[in-house]
Amino acid sequence: MAKYRSDRINEELKREISDILQNDIKDPGLGFVSVVLVEVSGDLRQAKVYYSVMGNHDDIQSTKDALKRSAGFIRREIANRLALRYTPELVFIYDDSIEHGIRIAQIINKENAKQGNHHEEE
């Protein structure tokens, strides 16, 4: 499969899954979730959906459970919305890269503040 086609399908799946999560799922366990990336396999049979959640560990766990419960519904909605030969099996994977980036930024800001204070004393 051409890379262009796979990229297009990844983006289309990401857009549709985000829309379904935001507008169609009424599960109270679903927190503030955002789809970060979707990677479809070469044969279009499986899609890894990387997601991020704003909140604490309990929010992350309840969202993970809600996504597991909703996977069949989301897949069915994808089948209705997109004209694909096969509707991929969805595998949801928690992505903490945004949190990791925030932690790194905080450390850098702290160090910059220390450096600023150190230069002022000289």
Q: Give the H/E segment covering residue 59.
A: helix 57-81
Residue 106's pLDDT is 87
Tokens 């004209």 found at: 83
What tokens appear for 17 in the block? 């899954």
What is the average pLDDT value for the chain, to the nearest integer? 88
CB-count burial class (<10 Å; 0-12, 13-18, 19+) for 44: middle
Give the pLDDT confidence of 63-102 residue by residue, as tens digits. Answer: 999 999 999 999 999 999 998 888 999 999 998 877 777 8
Tally the C-alpha atoms within 13 A of residue 73's C-alpha that lie toward its C-beta: 12
Residue 2's pLDDT is 64
Q: Is the pLDDT of residue 30 over 60?
A: yes
Residue 44's pLDDT is 87
What's the predicted TM-score (pTM) here?
A: 0.79
